Structure 1
């Protein structure tokens, strides 16, 4: 255990690239990020898979249950960032909102994004752990909680549902 290192949870990057019919692992590495704007995120959650276990009761066997693997449940990826604008006098960047708004208003084709979430080494850009998700759609966008009593920045939140999550070695 002395030769093992814990990964830092504060040094990470999220890359969203326009999805095609190919899986994310075979996508081009060129990030066509939402609206052409690269945005950093302060927090990322939802890197989880949960197996749906089916229980079968066997007649005459009262001391146990047979369990079989069912479908995998995928949690939405939740990304949080501070709201920002180009300068103090310009309007806030609305790319995350527009992605959801265009989908809800029926604009076709629906734009899907594959994602890559990487934990980085402190002193370099070398990824120590990487998760990828396929064909993400915006499920929810949340604006900031506004409170004149605090000096906090406005945080917006994006929930992305997807069709598969993998951790790459």
Structure 2
């Protein structure tokens, strides 16, 4: 067996990966807009995190509201009433009700269901507006990065979690210098 191991020579004899890429560019060798570039990167990363949190909150609120809709249907509220309170179309309310087939009557009053649905729908609407504001700020940061040439499409895509094609399509109307 020692002959097998002796036949491997060089840095990869251990079987580990050896990085052979270029050395990273020193901070001093970068373009003069490094501070602006760093600020944009930090802002885009923060907005990506905020957007992720907002989307998660919307998902949780939607699930809770959908369960409330199904329970209200099980307790005898009409599709039209629930649709009016939640601002969902009647087809969506019916579909939500059908998704929860194993519910039992809760015994809550009609007014209790309506108040809970109103409150949860308002919370959901507020969360969606918040996510919209975050997306608007992200689009403004993307536009600023492209105008100042701090980042290119590929780098912006990686920082925002969007595809490069989405970045290009969303920023076609933005004037790029040069």
Scaled to the shorter chain, the TM-score interval is: under 0.3
Report the structure, 1 or 2, having the larger strand content. 1
Whichever of the two has the greater Rg, that structure is 2
Higher helix share: 2
Q: TM-score, normalised by structure 2?
A: 0.21
* TM-score normalised over the length of structure 1: 0.22
